[in-house]
Structure 1
Amino acid sequence: MTKRLNEFLAGVPMTIVGGVFLAVSLILMMMKLEVPVDPAWISVIISGIPLLYLAIWRIINNKGMSKISSALLISIAMIAAIAIGDIFAAGEVAFIMATGAILEEKTAERSKKGLKKLISLAPQQGRRIMNGKEEMIRAEEIKAGYMLRVLPGETIPVDGRITIGNSSVDQAVITGESLPVDKEAGDSVYCGTINRFGAIDMEATEVGEDSSLQKLIRMVQDAENKQAPIQRIADKWATWLVPAALLIAIAAYVFTQDIIRGVTVLVVFCPCALVLATPTAIMAAIGQAAKHGIIIKSGEALEKMGKVDTIVFDKTGTLTFGRPEVSDIITFLGEPDENELLALAASAESRSEHPLGKAIVAHAIEKKLVLKDAEGFRMEAGKGIYANVSGRDLFCGNENYLKENGIGIPQQAIDTLNLLRNQGKASVLAAADGLCVGVIGLSDVLRPAAVEMVAELHEMGTQTVLLTGDNHRTAAYFAEQAGITDVKAELLPEEKVQNILQLQQEGKAVCMIGDGVNDAPALKTASVGVAMGAMGSDIAVEAADIALMSDDISKIPYLKRLSNATVSTIKFSLFLSLLINFVAILMSFMGWLTPTTGALVHNAGSIVVVLIAALLYDRKFD
């Protein structure tokens, strides 16, 4: 009951009510009008009761010096002001403290939806094969050694090894790879990944809590639990503020024999400006970032971003767009030419559901080529497709697929394939009427802003690292294009986490930028996680501290400059608030201030801190 009452009184609506009555009290006081009951009493009750409750709770439950908090100091000042009849001063310090607490709470809120979404990806059932028959069983009933069948479009229920069949598996949830990976007998598959095309039989190897997806979920949970809440600066300093305030107040009374001076010292000593310094600067910076399409979820993230010296990038969907596009069309025999080869391949692929086939068709349409009907279309999952176009037998696929169909691969084609692989590109060989006539190279596309963005970060003294689940050649190719020299490739989610932890152990303050579900543990583990918000997965966005809603990575240097400025502003505001308090204490000691005028000076100091922070909102950081 007491807790619910305090939560109600400390909420935004009641705090606003308290502020209104405090303002009425000030107006009456300035107009020298007397009323039977000072309206400031309402502010004292609304903002003071939760403050007093918090101070007492910490004295009873906290250990050691943490019993002494800013709430205790302000409660003492509030009670002292009431004791001498200055209700406005009591209401003012309680109201300012309540306002600061609300601001800080709003900036520190974290979303918990991401973990729930990640858990929802866990498969619920699997298709067990026993005695030649199929039966659906719950995922938790699957044991190592069970034989399972996964049909096209189904999610693989546990980690395992393919025993029969070929397919292409979308592993983005685990590795972040932009393209489905061709799989055949003997290859490993992961829980939570999607079988796109052919039916496969597999043997379960890692099940339950040992599966890849469950490890991913566990890593996000662990990283979430390691995130410590922000300790308010005023509370950090309260261990010496409270004794200092009491000693100075007592000294003021002893030396002057004036209880008013002692109470005034307590009122002006209250760390309200300290309480406001951090949250107001952060709120202004969050508003500034929002104008640029950047959502910052907490003040802690903004403060930490200002200290970051190493930024780690995922590749697919972060540095690149995460979708394959035709990059090369190479013919071997002079006939057909490039456009004819593209038109033939696109016609044959027009019925394909494979991402590479779709990309070839899209490129042909973009070039306004005429596609012809494909007859006799058939696809072999993980290998390629066949179709008859205008009487010509066309095979499009990998080397093995063409060889299996009796088509020789000329040395020129082999050399071209090796060149494309070294550039991190995928390749589709095209054969017409039994002859290998060309190859179409496809590649993910580097974001245009990536090169300049990385260069700006380097100029700011920030180290850049690429961590990706893609193969070494692809990673090296795109890292070189972007200007990143530190590259780690073919990483599973736990290996990305290990690399970030290693950087942190070396004393680095690490920011991770990613977009996929597989990036969620790394985003949580890093000091600051930044997700691509427009095209990135919901889970990555929820796991991150900051989201780029337009996927514009050119905003990263801006974000770093904004964070640096925020930290500097907070430090300056803290210094200024301490200086104002020091001057006010001297004035109180000399008798130049009363509790009421002291409260007004104290309030003016808080307003100055807020105004300084507000300047962040309109400052230019581009």
Structure 2
Amino acid sequence: MSRRQWVTGKWAVPALSGILIVASFLLERAIGGTANPTLAPQWWFDAGVHATHTAGSFLLSDLLMLAAAVVAGHGILAKALRALGARVVGIDLLVSIAAIGAVLIGNFWEAAAVTFLFSVGHALEAATLNKTRSALAELVAVAPDTAIVMRDGEQQEIPAGQVRMGEIVLVKNGAKVPVDGPVVSGTGAIDEASITGESIPVEKSKSDQVFAGTVSRGGFLQVLATGIGADTTLARIIHRVEEAQDAKAATQSFIDRFSRWYTPAVMILALVAGLVTGDVVLALTLLVIACPGALVISIPVAIVAGIGRAARNGILIKGGEFLETSAKISAVAVDKTGTLTEGRPQLTDVVVLDATMDRADVLRWAAAAEAGSEHPLARPILETAREEGVGPDGVPGDVTPVPGKGIVSDIEGRRVLIGNGPLLEQYGVLDDVGAADTARALAAAGRTPMIVAVDQQVIGVIAVADRMREDASEMVARLHAAGVRKVVMLTGDTRLVAEAVGKATGIDEIHASLLPEDKLDAVAKLQREGHVVAMVGDGVNDAPALATANIGVAMGAAGSAVAVETADIALMGDNLLKLPQAIGLAKRTVSVMRQNILLALATVVVLLAGVFAGGVTMSLGMLVHEASVLVVILNAMRLLR
């Protein structure tokens, strides 16, 4: 720390007060209390308020000790008066009354010691709290300062905040990416640890998304700026973490309410003790040792550390309330597509069931019908049709989605159905070619089948499959290890497909063929059974269930402003193992909160017993009090490891 920081920073007051205390001790030792002139007026001693020296012994060393108390105590008194102005009786008022009382009875050492130790404690609290906020500081530090853009056909280096929307930004090896946007040219490896928490660089090429604050580890990229300044993913993360670290947990709100009653109660206790015993020193000592400082700080410091640690790992937790709730999660509901699977289905089968048609015909009719569909399974059908030269030229005349069953399209004046058996029944199409049996066989193999019918004739069955994530089964195992009793799959897919995925991953319970409102009902049923439920989904089809769950979790939220802002927990990357990691961290954070509360209360009880038993002075009580505050903070800082 520089000399300027010592003079102007948080350590200036305790440093000056400490110097005055040391000077007082040295002066008293040097002159032995015999040759020093008396500095107190005679009325002081006539009033009998001086308890520690005889008349004529108010020495220069006492003046230095009084000065130390004033230097360290004036800020404490100012804070106490400001709090009183807001009708808050706080810890600073207790210390101020104790210090002023010690001065009035001539106990200058106790006044100086109490205020000095309290100011040292404040400085140490500030320093260690800043340390617990280190994850936020690290996020701010990765924000790029400059950017290289193409302007007027030339490369220009400008401040990152001056990049304009739609400009081409050049990202060279070793440089920080200054904007969010897609790669328009070039290839490179990008370290996305600041966003997703993953340390392994990700290969980027044309059309891939990159984020501000990530670092190029090789290659050369040209990026189209679509997110600049406060609209970047990094800026949203910093804003969310900042808000989350200041948000209160339910336990913290209770402690705050408790301290508002506790502090005045301590003052009444001290007053009663002083009146009953006639011992002013005892009353003032009670004010000091009963300070609830460690109790008040025990919760926020743990929340700050826990949320900061999560952010460093690419896990955004919205606030202390959600952190505390996450520690109680006993059931996790997951969507299949995009969560347990990669969310990139591929066409796997085209089964022809009409002797007058071939594979190309079935695929052509299916693609023509799906051309007007927004369903995720439409994409692999259309892509395969285009690759095989049978892709649709235009769009269907009319498309009618039938929730939970499929779609009905008007193609060249003919009605095309693509979906499941109930869709055929609804439109009176007879399955006389064994389409249902074919669909069941494909579903049993873990694929999603769709029956295709033109007018009143079934012509074939197509199937798509989404590859299982490699870490899906490990996620389920780790959730169980983290204390989650039930992992439930909620999917709109058929039961046979869902069961194939569930068997491979170790899912406890499967609910298939669900509509969005059915997923909501399934979550509500888990809650009625007494579970605290976390729902993991894509935030669109699963919105009702996400809103109903105790904790809504967004997967792969990097680049999604909606997910970052609305999810209770946002997993920035697509790593499934972040979910059990988040729950485990929440449990550790709540455990630290409980340890801190117990330590704070135990310290006050022990000190109170020591005061009434004798032997605990104001200065010793304040020393132990500040030590307990530091222990509470250091205990919370373990979460940062």
Q: TM-score range by the shorter chain?
A: 0.5 to 0.7
Taking the aligned partners of 1:552 and 1:332, their CA distance within structure 2 comes to 41
Higher Cα Rg: structure 1 or 2? 2
8 Å CA contact 1:343, 1:364 repeated in 2? yes
The Cα of 1:295 is off from its aligned counterpart by 0.9
Are residues 524 and 254 of structure 1, via their aligned partners in 2, closer, same or farther at CA, if it must alter by over 3 Å?
A: farther
Relative contact order, higher structure (CA 8 A, sep 6+): 1
The Cα of 1:306 is off from its aligned counterpart by 1.8
Pick the aligned partner of 1:80 from 76, 80, 98.
98
SS at match of 1:263: helix
SS at match of 1:411: coil
Taking the aligned partners of 2:545 and 2:391, their CA distance within structure 1 comes to 47
8 Å CA contact 1:573, 1:609 repeated in 2? yes
- Please say if 1:268 is aligned against 2:289: yes
- Please say if 1:616 is aligned against 2:639: yes
Are residues 43 and 478 of structure 1, via their aligned partners in 2, closer, same or farther at CA, if it must alter by over 3 Å?
A: farther
Are residues 475 and 79 of structure 1, via their aligned partners in 2, closer, same or farther at CA, if it must alter by over 3 Å?
A: farther
The Cα of 1:550 is off from its aligned counterpart by 0.9
The Cα of 1:267 is off from its aligned counterpart by 1.3
Task: Identify the residue that residue 441 of structure 1 maps to in structure 2.
Answer: 463
Are residues 506 and 439 of structure 1, via their aligned partners in 2, closer, same or farther at CA, if it must alter by over 3 Å?
A: closer
Task: Identify the residue that residue 581 of structure 1 maps to in structure 2.
Answer: 604
Task: Identify the residue that residue 28 of structure 1 maps to in structure 2.
Answer: 19
SS at match of 1:39: helix
Taking structure 2 as the reference length, what is the TM-score of the superposition? Answer: 0.56
Task: Identify the residue that residue 46 of structure 2 maps to in structure 1.
Answer: none
- What code does the residue aligned with 1:464 have? K
| Identity score, percent | 32
- What code does the residue aligned with 1:547 have? A
8 Å CA contact 1:284, 1:614 repeated in 2? yes
SS at match of 1:308: coil
Taking the aligned partners of 1:36 and 1:559, their CA distance within structure 2 comes to 48
- Please say if 1:544 is aligned against 2:567: yes
CA deviation string 1:105-138 (max 9, x = no partner): x99xxxxxxxxxxxxxxxxxxxxxxxxxxxxxxx
- What code does the residue aligned with 1:80 have? A
- Please say if 1:282 is aligned against 2:303: yes
The Cα of 1:614 is off from its aligned counterpart by 0.8
- Please say if 1:309 is aligned against 2:341: no
- What code does the residue aligned with 1:441 have? A
The Cα of 1:607 is off from its aligned counterpart by 0.9
The Cα of 1:285 is off from its aligned counterpart by 1.7
Task: Identify the residue that residue 83 of structure 2 maps to in structure 1.
Answer: 51
Task: Identify the residue that residue 622 of structure 2 maps to in structure 1.
Answer: 599
8 Å CA contact 1:513, 1:532 repeated in 2? yes
- What code does the residue aligned with 1:23 have? P
The Cα of 1:23 is off from its aligned counterpart by 3.0
- What code does the residue aligned with 2:14 have? A
- What code does the residue aligned with 1:417 have? A
Structure 1: where are the runs of 5+ without partners? 1-15, 58-70, 108-226, 388-394
Q: How does 1:11-160 map to 2 (within 5 A)?
A: 19-32=10-23, 34=64, 38-41=70-73, 43-44=75-76, 47-54=79-86, 56=87, 71-72=89-90, 75-85=93-103, 86=111, 89=114
Q: How does 1:404-483 map to 2 (within 5 A)?
A: 411-420=433-442, 425-427=448-450, 429=452, 439-466=461-488, 468=490, 470=492, 473=495, 478-483=501-506
How many residues align? The count is 458
- Please say if 1:566 is aligned against 2:584: no
Q: How does 1:324-343 map to 2 (within 5 A)?
A: 324-330=345-351
8 Å CA contact 1:532, 1:549 repeated in 2? yes
- What code does the residue aligned with 1:470 have? G
8 Å CA contact 1:230, 1:300 repeated in 2? no
Are residues 354 and 428 of structure 1, via their aligned partners in 2, closer, same or farther at CA, if it must alter by over 3 Å?
A: farther
8 Å CA contact 2:502, 2:510 repeated in 1? yes
Task: Identify the residue that residue 292 of structure 1 maps to in structure 2.
Answer: 313
Taking the aligned partners of 2:457 and 2:538, their CA distance within structure 1 comes to 42
RMSD across aligned positions (CA): 5.2
8 Å CA contact 1:313, 1:319 repeated in 2? yes
Pick the aligned partner of 2:578 from 555, 558, 564.
555
SS at match of 2:70: coil
The Cα of 1:271 is off from its aligned counterpart by 1.2
Task: Identify the residue that residue 536 of structure 2 maps to in structure 1.
Answer: 513
- What code does the residue aligned with 2:439 have? L
The Cα of 1:592 is off from its aligned counterpart by 4.9
8 Å CA contact 1:336, 1:437 repeated in 2? yes
The Cα of 1:305 is off from its aligned counterpart by 1.8
The Cα of 1:266 is off from its aligned counterpart by 1.6
CA deviation string 1:313-336 (max 9, x = no partner): 344443344454324344569999
8 Å CA contact 2:266, 2:287 repeated in 1? no
Are residues 289 and 36 of structure 1, via their aligned partners in 2, closer, same or farther at CA, if it must alter by over 3 Å?
A: closer
8 Å CA contact 1:268, 1:598 repeated in 2? yes
- What code does the residue aligned with 1:44 have? I
CA deviation string 1:476-504 (max 9, x = no partner): 55445443343445666666555545544
Structure 2: where are the runs of 5+ without partners? 1-6, 25-63, 104-110, 134-248, 400-406
CA deviation string 1:82-104 (max 9, x = no partner): 3334377458659978979x979
Taking structure 1 as the reference length, what is the TM-score of the superposition? Answer: 0.58
The Cα of 1:603 is off from its aligned counterpart by 1.5
CA deviation string 1:299-318 (max 9, x = no partner): 22222222222223344443
Task: Identify the residue that residue 60 of structure 1 maps to in structure 2.
Answer: none
- What code does the residue aligned with 1:289 have? A
Taking the aligned partners of 1:608 and 1:418, their CA distance within structure 2 comes to 62
